[in-house]
Structure 1
Amino acid sequence: MYLISKVSVEGFWDTYNFSVPIDHDVTFFIGQNGTGKTTFINLLAAALTADFRTLDRMPFKKIEISLLPRKKGEKPSITVTKSEKRGRPFEIIDYRIVPGGENPKEIKFSLDDTEEQLMLRRMRSERHFFEYYHRFQSGILPALRDLVQVNWLSIHRMSPQEQGRDERSFDSSIDQKLSALSNDLVKYFATLSKQKDDEIRAFQEYIFVSLIEHRDDVDPFDQKRLDLVPQYSEALQTIFKELHVQRDTSKLLASFSRRAIENKKEIDENGHQSGLTFDQIIFRIGLFRIEEVVKRWEALQEKLKTIFQQKDKFQSIADELFQRKKMEFSESNEIIFNSRSGKPLTPQMLSSGEKQLLILMSEALLQREMPAIFIADEPELSLHVLWQERLVGSLRMLNPNAQIISATHSPDIVGPLVDKAIDMETLVK
């Protein structure tokens, strides 16, 4: 996936032409009301997501989005133009996409069929519009998605592909978005749980195979192993608990430790192995097997930490920000919150600011640390000043490979990143 390096616009508000560089990490567009921050952000998001309705109503002639090359000589770009054609009742929208790689084949897409124009512009039924709209997008979206992964993070505005088709729904846009993201989070966390189950299953298979595996490359009589018996005992207790082994492990481990001490005493007194009984030899071999199991278990724990690293980070950030509530996960991987009084709360029961914060965090988490473009229009709405200060840093922690492009009025959102802020007035003068 590519990130943006520069955006050039011709005929912005049918008046202005400008070109603006985009930082690969964070770019803020600031300025007084009426300077065009939201218009520019909406236009950029619409061009990247083939949002025809927004492109149709936006006053512009051309927007060219230059993408950050990954290889020398690449010049990937996305260009959208809007023009009038004699004899046509509507302006024509044309896409020109230059992909990356060697010898890229230019892709062109034009919405200039009169029947399509009439259907998209004059449909009164939202349900019919979205059915047709998705058929229209199927021609251009695959080409765009091969180049960029875009998240439209504006909470109170939804792109057409995110809007519901059920006209009977009375949910607000924020609740619709929250519901959709909750489902996506459940699926994501379920994939992590499956990875854990697969790793546990592989560990159990190893234990079974190790019982019948013959090893000539190790010495089961190594005296140093006996000194680690207490450590093995503790590790085995943990393993039994995690694997739900229904057995009195205390007696088993006490017997194991006692026999280990007896073996060590035998070695200390004799100073050699020749006097070991058959039972002691079998025990020493078993000790080696236990050591291997413990090592495998420790390696498994490191794998599980990696698998759940992002989920744990997500929860850690939530614990810092949602100070009056504790976020947890149900057995079915659904997010639940507990108030200070212990009352369980669903995400839909949160305040508007808490919902917005959860949505922004969820969007970042679901990118799975892949390069992605996050476009946000006034993300500070409904957020406490403390949350505004920590917002960009939290999103970057969840996805350090994200490129955040935001229109904002909040100096707290910008914070110390003032050198990454562009005054919109300098572009439309």
Structure 2
Amino acid sequence: MDDSFLERPGSRGPDDQDVKFAHFGRLLHYSVSGLFGYYDHEFDLDVDEPTILTGANGTGKTTVLRSIDWISRGHFGPLGRIEFGTMILLFEEAMLEIQKVSNGHLELQLKRRTETAKFWHYSLESESRLTPSMEIFRLREAIGIEDWDELSPDERNLLIHRYAPEPESDKPEWVSSLPKSFPALFVTDQRLAPERRRRPKKRGGGETIGVVAAIEAAVLHINDEVQRYKSLYGTASQSLDRNFPRRVFSAISSQREFGGSKDVLREFQEVQALRSSLATTGLISPTEIEDSINDLPLNNPDSVALIATYLSDTREKLSTFEPLRQRLEPFIEFLRRHYKNKEIRIDDKDGFKIASTRTGEDISPVHLSSGEQQMFILAHKLLFEAPPGTLVMIDEPELSLHVLWQSTFVDDLTEISAASGTYFLLATHSPTLIAGRTDLRRSLDG
């Protein structure tokens, strides 16, 4: 692997004691040798559009995605159990090399610019061990699994495998920091299914409120975010309104240059465009959109000072919604494109609403088709659960998508990527999903 990236010009990074979770940047290249004993794979990742892995069954598409996910989460037990020789992840700002020296033993090496290479030896035998009863108790306490006996054996094994403890005493800080240095989200068809999740316990309460479907949990999360940002908007409005007259008189008396009527009108149109965008998303009421200011005395300097101060305040108030608007607007537009005969809106009283355009009646999220629920949950994960810079890996998305949606999926993800700052790696068998984008395809068939 060419590690010449380490020689590229760049300022010396801060010492480890100053920055615990220095980001590696985006993943640019992945390679693995001897996977399952005979596969050698390597490919570049496209950070602007989804990278698409293809290959026959058994070539390791899912394993490649899982290996990246395990590394991101710092779970080396599963990685130590698969057969491979060397695995290299090349990032924008770092290179991580993992060698399997024997069964259950890994050698990790991290290289960064201007820093000494770091090494760590992982041993499967050194993992902490708990008795089955202790393991079940720990899981119940850690992740709220109370009805353990109702889970299937596969579900129990999945949870034990996912949350298996690893030794912390000999783990260096750079290894413990991997989830923050290299954020990744692994999405499988199973995770997109309309599973049911427990509501959080009431603060100070000892009982679980109940169980809700995953899509209901997503709707609740969106509604909480909307209310939080509306509260911020209200606070900003009160603060600015409180001293608005004083600032107007200060602007008039200071004789500041606010430009002419054309400048004020242009500023007004920009504020109107922002208002319209927020009203379309449902974050403000359409009644807040004014018709025109052409009838105001824009040739009067005092009037211009007043209007300019008002517009500046309005822009500052509306800007409190911007972090949410950047996620909510593409989310709603995504659903509107894929949901037929349905209206998507944010209601002032009830929050997120889905209604039939045929009957006008509200539709409960749990009464959407399974495919519509899966699209909702996926879009929520990508826009509300994955922070910027996250590598989102989706295994066989065609299992969750209607065939008509598959043909636009790459474009959908490209649009979401631009809005969320995430980037994507897909594994698929679907020619419809690839839709002629051979430039994004990376074949593992050799």
For the aligned pair, the TM-score class normalised by the smaller chain equals 0.5 to 0.7
- 1:337-416 matches, cutoff 5 A: 337-340=354-357, 341-366=359-384, 370-400=388-418, 401-416=421-436
Q: Is structure 2 residue 151 aligned with structure 1 residue 128? A: no
Q: Tell me, yes or no, if the aligned pair for 1:367 and 1:399 is still in contact at 8 Å.
A: no
| AA matched with 1:27 | T
Report how far residue 82 of structure 1 moved: 6.6
CA distance in 1: counterparts of 2:69 and 2:59, whole angstroms: 18
| AA matched with 2:54 | I
Q: Tell me, yes or no, if the aligned pair for 2:127 and 2:165 is still in contact at 8 Å.
A: no
CA distance in 1: counterparts of 2:229 and 2:109, whole angstroms: 36
Report how far residue 352 of structure 1 moved: 1.6
Deviations 1:149-188 (A, max 9, x none): 1111223159xxx99899x99989xx44x45544544454
CA distance in 1: counterparts of 2:178 and 2:191, whole angstroms: 21
**Residue in 1 that maps onto 2:35:** 12
Q: Tell me, yes or no, if the aligned pair for 1:370 and 1:399 is still in contact at 8 Å.
A: no
CA distance in 2: counterparts of 1:34 and 1:197, whole angstroms: 56
Q: 1:144 aligns with which of 178, 186, 198?
A: 178
Deviations 1:203-244 (A, max 9, x none): 314414326637433299x9979x99xx99xx9xx9xxx999
- Alpha-carbon spacing, 1:134–1:36, altered in 2? closer, same or farther (3 Å): closer
SS at match of 1:405: strand
Q: Which has the larger radius of gyration?
A: 1
Gap regions ≥5 residues in structure 2: 1-22, 143-159, 201-207, 276-282, 286-292
**Residue in 1 that maps onto 2:118:** 106
Report how far residue 310 of structure 1 moved: 3.1
- Bigger CA drift: 130-139 or 36-45? 130-139
Q: 1:327 aligns with which of 340, 344, 349?
A: 344
Q: Tell me, yes or no, if the aligned pair for 1:378 and 1:407 is still in contact at 8 Å.
A: yes
CA distance in 2: counterparts of 1:123 and 1:302, whole angstroms: 53
SS at match of 1:103: coil
**Residue in 2 that maps onto 1:88:** none
**Residue in 2 that maps onto 1:119:** 130
- 1:7-46 matches, cutoff 5 A: 7-24=30-47, 25-46=49-70
Q: Is structure 2 residue 107 aligned with structure 1 residue 79? A: no
Percentage identity across aligned positions? 17
| AA matched with 1:347 | P
CA distance in 2: counterparts of 1:323 and 1:335, whole angstroms: 17
Q: 1:417 aligns with which of 423, 426, 437?
A: 437
**Residue in 1 that maps onto 2:353:** 336
CA distance in 2: counterparts of 1:5 and 1:352, whole angstroms: 35
- Alpha-carbon spacing, 1:331–1:298, altered in 2? closer, same or farther (3 Å): closer
SS at match of 2:401: coil
- 1:1-400 matches, cutoff 5 A: 1=23, 2-24=25-47, 25-51=49-75, 54-55=78-79, 57=81, 59-62=82-85, 64-70=87-93, 75-77=94-96, 79=98, 81=100, 83-84=102-103, 91-92=104-105, 94=106, 96=108, 98=110, 100-104=112-116, 106=118, 108=120, 110-114=122-126, 116=128, 118-119=129-130, 126=136, 128-129=138-139, 131=142, 133=163, 136=166, 142-157=176-191, 175-176=213-214, 178=215, 181-182=218-219, 184-210=221-247, 213=250, 215-218=252-255, 287=303, 290-297=306-313, 299-300=315-316, 303=319, 306-307=322-323, 308-331=325-348, 335-340=352-357, 341-366=359-384, 370-400=388-418
SS at match of 2:399: coil
- Alpha-carbon spacing, 1:26–1:389, altered in 2? closer, same or farther (3 Å): same
| AA matched with 2:365 | P
SS at match of 1:370: coil
- Alpha-carbon spacing, 1:334–1:305, altered in 2? closer, same or farther (3 Å): closer
Report how far residue 408 of structure 1 moved: 0.6
| AA matched with 1:393 | D
Q: Tell me, yes or no, if the aligned pair for 1:371 and 1:402 is still in contact at 8 Å.
A: yes
Q: Tell me, yes or no, if the aligned pair for 2:108 and 2:121 is still in contact at 8 Å.
A: yes
Q: Tell me, yes or no, if the aligned pair for 1:360 and 1:395 is still in contact at 8 Å.
A: no
| AA matched with 2:66 | N
Report how far residue 36 of structure 1 moved: 2.8
CA distance in 2: counterparts of 1:371 and 1:53, whole angstroms: 25
- Bigger CA drift: 341-350 or 98-107? 98-107
CA distance in 2: counterparts of 1:346 and 1:29, whole angstroms: 36
SS at match of 2:312: helix
Deviations 1:98-137 (A, max 9, x none): 2645315625262444562x439x6795553574837538
CA distance in 1: counterparts of 2:135 and 2:211, whole angstroms: 19
CA distance in 2: counterparts of 1:195 and 1:29, whole angstroms: 43
Deviations 1:248-302 (A, max 9, x none): xxxxx9xx98xx79xx9xxxxxxxxxxxxxxxxxxx7974553234432553477
Deviations 1:176-203 (A, max 9, x none): 4x45544544454445434433442343
- Alpha-carbon spacing, 1:109–1:9, altered in 2? closer, same or farther (3 Å): same
- Alpha-carbon spacing, 1:289–1:165, altered in 2? closer, same or farther (3 Å): closer
CA distance in 2: counterparts of 1:364 and 1:113, whole angstroms: 36
Q: Tell me, yes or no, if the aligned pair for 1:23 and 1:420 is still in contact at 8 Å.
A: yes
